Amino acid sequence: MSPPAEDLGRSGFGGFLVHPEEEEILRDQIAASPDPPSLFQFLTRYQTKNGLPSHRQQLLALTTLAGQSPFLGELLLQSPESLAWAVGQLGKDEPRSAEGLREDLARFRFTFSQLSDAAVLRRFKLREYLRIALRDFFGKADLSETTQELSLLADVLLQGALLITLRENLNRFGPPQFIDDSGRICEATFAILSLGKLGGGELNYSSDIDLIYVYSREGQTAGREDDPPSVIGNREFFSRVGEGITQRIGGISPEGQVFRVDLGLRPGGRDGELVHSQRSLLAYYRTWAHNWEKQALIKARHSAGDPSLGESVVRELKKRIDPSGSPALVALEIKEMKDRIDEELSRTGRGDLDLKLGRGGIRELEFGVQALQMTHGQMEPWVHEGNTLRALHRLADKDLVTYTEHASLDRAYTFLRKVEHCLQLERNRQTYLLPSEAAPLKILARRMGFLEKQSTEALLRELEHHREAVRNFYDRVFGFLSQPSLEGTDPDPLLDPLPEHTLSALVGRPGASGAEESLRLFKRIRRIFSSEQIRPSERRGVRRVSSSILEEVTSAPEPNRVFSNLERFLSSLLLEPTARRAFFEKAEWIPPLIRLLAKSEHLALVLTGHPQILEELGNVPDALRDASFEDLAAPLERDLKNTAELREVAALLRRFHRRQVLFTGLRDVHRQDSLSRTLRRLTALAQACLVGAERAASRIAPAAKQEPRFCVLGLGRLGYHELDYNSDLDLIFVMEPTDDSAALENSRRRAESLIHLLTAITQDGTLYSVDLRLRPAGGEGELIQTSNGLQDYFRDSAQTWEKMALLKARPVAGDVAFGRELLLSLEETMFRGIRQSCLGAEVREMKEKLELSVGGKGGEGLSLKLGPGGLLEVHFIIEYLQLWHGVPGPNDRDTLRMLTYLHGRQLLPAADYHALYAAYLLLRSLDHSIRVLYDRPGDSLPLSRNHLARLASEVSYTLSSSQEATADSLLELVHESCASVRAAFHRLIP
């Protein structure tokens, strides 16, 4: 408000209505401002709209803010009430705390409750910018404090957006949950990690914020009782949360946006998944990440969400900063990135204007610091500091930069960042370009405090001085790259000539058992790499990763087996030139594929038998992207629609299947997926192939006048979403009753064609073994059952074991709605016909017969499936309880979810639930590991100590902290688990 008229004087310049004693303030402020005419015009507009403030401190603040930043001036013009608030904050000498900012945001949201959540966040940010800038311009905060406050503000706003978005999704879907290894239901959490300037606590006034979204565990939401579809997977739930945060923070409105959100540093970049589980994220950086991605982790920090999760993930990520390759190669990669930037700047003529990317700019200083951190951090982890100024101090403390150099670079970085702030605050634009014209360059000089007559020249002299210091530092750090040959400094273990004793030392364990065989295989592998068929460009790719290849092989529990797999694989590549080029020219694929050869006999056979699959790998983000049934089925169906011949359909299905098995295996052996997610992905793949094959078969078969409804039911592991590598498919074909013999024959041919597409052995291999023995009358029954016939059979004739098997059934192809209707009807029929008086005796008798058939053993090992307390016993308990209580189970069921479901309905006591859950998880993990490691069914546990030791290192199971994962401890745990299952079986099935 303006003071009363009688108290006003009229200024002699421009007619500003101020107290006479404040006229001098206006004169001095306008004269000293970077752009006096612009400030004069702004004050005229401000007086007309709001009246100039009568408070001396507010007048100083207004002229300072508007003079230094026209953007902030416009903000005050629209929100004059913010001026008094910002000035009131100047009396507080200490920067704001996170807790204080969160409380302020809560009060601000309450005050402006009529606004949208996004608008509240935007306005709060702008109000805080006034406070932070005022402290900056009045000299109450140095650069470090200013950038730290801007970063803290971003953290608080991210937390605010997260809480709003999380609340919305919790109300809709219920809490996201997972079941831990002991069977307890726990709530999954979410965290936001920051990288770049936000991660380093050095945010600009107009920076992007680089984010990664992570959640704790896979699982599903609790849902709402009144809305069954509200149960969704945790990945989908947190993807919705991530999308909501990105929109609230980065969405553009007439008022602008809170921050520009950049998710390009997440695994897979902009093509990668929006959110990652903790397991998946850590696996990516352990296995797939390029050195530049590890370099970005130096600045990783928890910004919002669950602090326990965020800080834990950051700690683990920091352990993965150590780069692949020698220090020289790492430095070369960093310099190559900067060289590409320089080429682009040179092409556009911006090299001397770009304060960030140009010669002696901020990026050169950061790259120099990060190169030292990357190449020395393994020995000195303390230097892995994300904040550039603090990192320089730590590098100096470790004598990696001199103290003179440290002081010079500290001043240079501070100066360059201040210039950057001045450029960006002018119009709130993310710019790093110095003005090319004299007038705006002079204004910039005055904003930087160069007020003398030759202000532009003084700014440029100071700028050149600091740029020169940065460039000298950059050249020193990367100076060794001017040596004639980096590659010649250290002999390559796979490519260069080496004496016999060196080769022997490289493979390790001279004189140990198997050492001679290791050396023989290693020499054969080196001969393959020396083959004339391997081109020089391909060898260069190998040279970058050869050390990690050798380390992967020699550190494996059975190195000779891995050497043998690698030798067979490389030999197969020599016969497939296109596949060989695909392998060697994509260096990022080499270490993960070598690890696959080391960890899985099954996947090694897939890769060695069909090396041409390498031509279809594509880029890493595509391979790592998680795939649902819909993600798999849609592209497969598009390809199959254009395929008319049965032979072509079979070939396409097999190629698709191999590629997806390889992608699943890569995620699996690198521990990117949990066991449950791996089995579900393999099940989704099988169902996609079934759907594609069924539709292709229906297109190829001659059409009848009126087609009866037709469905394929999946039972067993397919029905329960637990298919593993090389699992059979348990199927039943069902159709509506019909008197049309042509329609019946057509459906029969359709089923036969489908079976052929799945089982035929072609030059591309086979897809699946199909088991049809669960249909009525087993192998002697009709290939296709009618829905009425099934109803009659399960009402009048089905044995208890057949009813138990049907509890796992679900429609997997054909008319799925028809299948669901049929199964609902069959369940009602079954439950009505249960004879409870003899159910327990029948189940126990079945189990005894199965045990007698294997004598408690499976081949040469301990039976994990059919023996006492084995996997099948857990299923028998579940199915018995379902039949006894008439409980069909949830739609999306698997064994562990069924146990949880029965426990939740108080049909399974807590002690038995936890025992069965833990035992089943262990036994199923063993079954899976046996398939992966040894390419054989996991029905029986091999009892040799070597096998047990290998399995013990692979399986996730619970041991006390004092025990190690040994062959003996694994075998003991298996016996204890089977005993607990057997005890529950006797208690629950009297």
Domain boundaries, the chain: 92-318, 327-478, 850-988
Counting residues of the chain whose pLDDT is more than 90, the rounded percentage is 49
Angle of CA points 282, 283, 288, to nearest 5°: 115
Q: Is the dihedral of CA 458, 461, 466, 467 positive or negative?
A: positive
Output the pLDDT for position 961: 35
The most confident of 193-197, 400-404, 861-865, 912-916, by mean pLDDT: 193-197
Tell me which DSSP letter residue 989 carries.
Answer: -
Q: Is 433 helix (H, G, I), strand (E, B) or coil?
A: strand
**pLDDT band (50, 70, 90) for residue 262:** very high
Mean pLDDT of the chain: 87
CATH topology of domain 92-318: Beta Polymerase; domain 2 (3.30.460)
Give the span between the Cα atoms of 933 and 721, in whole angstroms: 21
Question: What b/e sequence results for 179-191 when a residue is b if at least 16 CB atoms lie within 10 Å of its CB, and e otherwise?
Answer: beeebeeeebbbb
Q: What is the mean pLDDT of residues 915-928?
A: 92
pLDDT in tens, 267-310: 888 878 899 999 889 988 887 888 889 999 999 999 999 999 99
**pLDDT band (50, 70, 90) for residue 13:** low
Q: Which residues pair with 75 in a beta bridge?
A: none
CB 182 within 8 A of CB 903: no
- Tell me how crowded residue 519 is: count the other CB atoms within 10 A of its CB: 18
| 117: CB partners within 8 A, 6+ apart | 109, 161, 164, 248
Q: Is 282 helix (H, G, I), strand (E, B) or coil?
A: helix
Q: Is the dihedral of CA 849, 850, 853, 857 positive or negative?
A: negative
Query: Which segment of 188-202, 334-348, 824-838 scores lowest on mean pLDDT?
Result: 334-348
Tell me which DSSP letter residue 939 carries.
Answer: S
Given CATH 1.20.120.330, say whether it is the number of domain 850-988. Answer: yes
Output the pLDDT for position 703: 65
Q: What is the mean pLDDT of residues 430-446?
A: 91
Maximum pairwise Cα distance, the chain: 111
- pTM, rounded to two decimals: 0.82
Query: In a 10 Å sphere around its CB, with 0-12 CB exposed, 13-18 middle and 19+ buried, how is residue 738 labelled?
Result: middle
Give the span between the Cα atoms of 495 and 55, in whole angstroms: 77
Rg (CA), the chain: 34
Q: Which residues pair with 771 in a beta bridge?
A: 730
pLDDT in tens, 515-561: 888 888 888 888 888 777 777 777 777 777 787 788 878 888 788 88
* Closest to 513 in 3D by CA, of 566, 559, 567: 559
Give the span between the Cα atoms of 830 and 807, in whole angstroms: 10
Output the pLDDT for position 704: 61
| 648: CB partners within 8 A, 6+ apart | none
Q: Is the dihedral of CA 526, 531, 533, 536 positive or negative?
A: positive
Q: Is residue 10's pLDDT more than 50?
A: no
pLDDT in tens, 848-907: 998 888 764 445 678 899 999 999 999 999 999 999 999 988 888 899 989 988 988 899
CB 341 within 8 A of CB 357: yes
Q: Which one-letter amino acid corresponds to residue 77?
A: L
- Topology match between the domains 92-318 and 850-988: no
Dihedral in degrees, nearest 10, Cα atoms 923, 928, 932, 936: 80
Q: Is 677 helix (H, G, I), strand (E, B) or coil?
A: helix
Cα–Cα separations (whole angstroms), residue 954 to 665, 669, 844, 948:
14, 10, 34, 10
The most confident of 317-321, 485-489, 672-676, 808-812, by mean pLDDT: 808-812
Q: Is residue 9's pLDDT more than 50?
A: no
Residue with tokens 């390809």: 639
Residues across the chain: 990
SS3 content of the chain, % helix, strand, coil (to 5): 65, 10, 30
| 322: CB partners within 8 A, 6+ apart | 294, 377, 378
pLDDT in tens, 948-967: 888 888 885 433 334 467 88
Output the pLDDT for position 757: 93
Query: Which segment of 470-484, 642-656, 889-903, 976-990 scores lowest on mean pLDDT?
Result: 470-484
Q: Which one-letter amino acid corresponds to residue 893?
A: R
What would the CATH number be for the domain defined by 327-478? 1.20.120.330
Helix axes 56-68, 117-137, angle to 10 degrees: 100
Output the pLDDT for position 370: 92
Cα–Cα separations (whole angstroms), residue 985 to 182, 770, 837, 843, 872:
18, 30, 17, 10, 11
CB 320 within 8 A of CB 308: no
Give the span between the Cα atoms of 125 and 84, in whole angstroms: 17
Output the pLDDT for position 622: 67
Cα 615–chain centre separation: 25
Tell me which DSSP letter residue 520 carries.
Answer: H
Residue with tokens 């390790």: 508
pLDDT in tens, 395-407: 999 999 999 999 9
Helix axes 945-954, 910-934, angle to 10 degrees: 110
Output the pLDDT for position 91: 78
CB 174 within 8 A of CB 100: no
- The pairing of strands 260-262 and 208-215 is parallel
* Closest to 648 in 3D by CA, of 707, 702, 586, 692: 692
Dihedral in degrees, nearest 10, Cα atoms 414, 417, 422, 425: -130
Q: What is the secondary structure of 863-882 as a DSSP string?
A: ESSSSTTSHHHHHHHHHHHH
Give the span between the Cα atoms of 265 and 198, in whole angstroms: 13
pLDDT in tens, 93-141: 788 889 999 999 999 999 998 988 889 999 999 999 999 999 999 999 9
